[in-house]
Amino acid sequence: MRKIGIIGVGHVGATIAYTLVVQGLADQLVLIDESDKKVIGEQYDLLDTMAGLDTVTTIKVQDYAALNDADVLITAFGSNRDESQSNEQIVTQIAAKIESADFTGVLINISDPCDLFTALLQAKTELPVKHVIGTGTLVDTVMMRRAIGLKLDLAPQNIGGYVYGSHGGSTFTAWSTVTVNGRPINEIQGSYGLNFESLMTASNYGGWLALAGKGFTNYAITTCVIKLVRAILSNAHLAVPVSTYSPEFETYIGRPAVVGANGVESLIMASLSELEQGQLKAAASVSKQKIDGLHRN
């Protein structure tokens, strides 16, 4: 039985729940939110949705104990609107409830700042580091591939490579890893007049247009989460960038890894250029300082 929990059913959490149900990826779904009214509304909307499907998903709400035997838990809580508590306090409270439920599966954190909250969730739940991952630079990577695909009039699936760093902070495209139709992008840069800085501007601007137009983003991040859920449930050993613990930097940072049933099965040690190595080290240093600051509080 494939059992998945979601904590936080705002724009993103609700879209993930809908996608899991419609695609028949979950046999059991546990939805938890700070608002009873909101989570019950999502539950019954999904029940009505299932009436038109050929699959059935059992849905429970507001039951942390039901996370005990979940395969995957997705944390998608938003920023705090109540100034009486900090976001860190809320993460700590949620982590305590997860720990009390004896959850032993793989935790995927979406909530930002991603690296910080993923690290804090791992520390407070005391789950193995490989079992606690964040979406990290996965969404930045798909945005990069979209920008290059549009520039070259190619399907973004034909673009390879990764964005490293801290999502929402210091990210960078590792151009040494980027390929176009299997060819290193550095080989075709001159032929197509590609400007790497302009491509990154186009990548970020597209995300800004989505946010400015809607007031939130939910589809791209949901697609990223579903990719990770599929990789975990099927033990796919999929190469994908995530926020994960890097022993060499002693911190969580966005980088490519192999994801399977145990979460991060291994890190991908790509041959980065000297400049990219320095960028990754600098991004990891900033991330570590912020995470260490949280642990001291």
Ranges in the chain annotated CATH 3.40.50.720: 3-104
Given this model, what pLDDT does residue 85 score?
57
Which residues fall within 8 angstroms of residue 273, CB to CB, at 6 or more apart?
Answer: 174, 175, 176
DSSP code string of 27-42: SEEEEE-S-HHHHHHH
| Residue found by looking up tokens 């151009």 in the block | 175
Residue 24 in contact with residue 55, Cβ under 8 Å? Answer: yes
Q: For residue 84, what pLDDT band results from cuts at 50, 70 and 90?
A: very low
With residue 5 as reference, give the H or E element that holds it. strand 3-7
Q: Which residue has the higher pLDDT, 224 or 90?
A: 224
Residue 83 has pLDDT above 80, yes or no: no
| Residue found by looking up tokens 């320095």 in the block | 278
pLDDT (tens digit, 9 = 90+) per residue, 150-170? Answer: 999 999 999 999 999 999 778
71 is in an annotated binding site: no
Given this model, what pLDDT does residue 110 score?
96
3-state helix vs strand vs coil in the chain, percent to 5: 50, 20, 30
Residue 296 has pLDDT above 90, yes or no: no
Residue 284 has pLDDT above 70, yes or no: yes
User: pLDDT > 70: what percent of the chain?
Assistant: 97
Instruction: Tell me the average pLDDT of the chain.
Output: 94
Q: For residue 185, what pLDDT band results from cuts at 50, 70 and 90?
A: very high
- Write the burial class of residue 213 (CB in 10 Å: 0-12 exposed, 13-18 middle, 19+ buried): exposed
3-state secondary structure of 259: strand
215 is in an annotated binding site: no
Residue 87 has pLDDT above 80, yes or no: no
Ranges in the chain annotated CATH 3.90.110.10: 138-296
Structure tokens at 242: 């995530």
- Contacts of residues 46-54 at CB distance under 8 Å and 24 or more positions apart, as own/partner, are 46/17, 46/18, 46/21, 49/18, 49/21, 49/22, 50/21, 53/21, 53/22, 53/24, 54/24
293 is in an annotated binding site: no
262 is in an annotated binding site: no
Class of the CATH domain delimited by 3-104: alpha beta
Residues carrying an active site annotation: 167
pLDDT (tens digit, 9 = 90+) per residue, 56-78? Answer: 999 999 999 999 999 999 999 87
pLDDT (tens digit, 9 = 90+) per residue, 204-259? Answer: 988 899 999 999 999 999 999 999 999 999 999 999 999 999 999 999 999 999 99
10 is in an annotated binding site: yes
Q: For residue 137, what pLDDT band results from cuts at 50, 70 and 90?
A: very high
Give the CATH number of domain 138-296; options: 2.40.340.10, 3.40.630.10, 3.30.10.20, 3.90.110.10: 3.90.110.10
Structure tokens at 23: 């695609």
